[in-house]
């Protein structure tokens, strides 16, 4: 059985500031708790104390939030958040910077797409939802450009392969937009202009 001393030694070994260290420490604490779990007493095994503690906790949150919402309505305590939930759609939940969100085509300084119509993204796409029509670029330094770039978000599985494979950093999934619901399948099909400016 692990003693508190042994546990302290292990915690010291797992530096919580290292990469994923906090996860390792949490995992270790959990396994320590599981190993050292004691038997429930007769009173605890009725679950009545747990039931009351649950009701108390829920009620405490309810009355706290109710009180704060009433104060907010009269213009007080606006700086104190009323509930742990986000009031969507007025208030959007912040996303991680690396979250894969709706696509966009990046532009050059002159406003034209960076895409050189190499077809890598179209080839790698497992959902086959990209369709590019290539055309000759007037600039001899750039071989091709996409005359049309169609992306069907109704089929996309958000795997991010298109972004990974692009040699020109021409397509990104960093718009932080996930609200892409539409009323028809056709509206889910994005063309070049929509991907560049939408």
Our finding on whether 171 is near ligand SF4 (CB under 6 A) is: yes
Q: DSSP character for 165?
A: H
Nearest CA among 196, 192, 198 for reference residue 130? 192
| Span from 11-19, 54-62, 135-143, 163-171 in contact with ligand SF4 (CB under 6 A) | 163-171
Among 9, 72, 74, 165, binds ligand SF4 (CB under 6 A): 165
Neighbour tally for 81: CB within 10 Å? 11
What residues from 104 to 123 belong to the interface with ligand SF4 (CB under 6 A)?
A: 115-121
Our finding on whether 147 is near ligand SF4 (CB under 6 A) is: no
Our finding on whether 195 is near ligand SF4 (CB under 6 A) is: no
Q: Which two tokens stand for residue 141?
A: 């330094």
Q: How far apart are CA 54 and CA 26, in angstroms?
A: 24
Task: Please check whether residue 119 is in contact with residue 131, taking contact to mean a CB–CB distance below 8 angstroms.
Answer: no
Our finding on whether 157 is near ligand SF4 (CB under 6 A) is: yes
Cα 73 to Cα 48, 78, 120, distances in angstroms: 37, 9, 54
The CB-of-184 to ligand SF4 minimum distance in angstroms stands at 19
Which chain residues interact with ligand SF4 by CB under 6 A? 115-121, 124-127, 129-130, 132, 151, 156-162, 165-166, 168, 170-171
């Amino acid at each position: 059985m692990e003693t508190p001393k042994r546990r302290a030694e292990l915690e010291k070994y797992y530096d919580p500031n290292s990469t994923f260290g906090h996860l390792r420490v949490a995992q270790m604490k959990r396994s320590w708790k599981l190993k050292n779990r004691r038997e429930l007493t007769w009173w605890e095994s009725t679950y009545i104390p747990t039931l009351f503690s649950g009701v108390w906790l829920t009620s405490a949150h309810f009355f706290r939030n109710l009180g704060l919402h009433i104060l907010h309505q009269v213009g007080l305590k606006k700086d104190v958040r009323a509930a742990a939930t986000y009031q969507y759609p007025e208030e959007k939940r912040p996303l991680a910077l690396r979250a894969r969100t709706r696509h966009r085509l990046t532009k050059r300084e002159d406003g034209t797409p960076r895409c050189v119509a190499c077809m890598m993204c179209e080839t790698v796409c497992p959902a086959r939802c990209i369709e590019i029509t290539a055309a000759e670029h007037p600039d001899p330094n750039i071989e091709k450009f996409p005359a049309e770039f169609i992306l069907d978000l109704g089929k996309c599985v958000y795997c991010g392969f298109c972004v990974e494979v692009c040699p020109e950093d021409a397509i990104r999934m960093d718009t932080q937009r996930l609200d892409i619901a539409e009323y028809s399948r056709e509206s889910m099909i994005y063309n070049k202009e929509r991907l560049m400016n939408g």
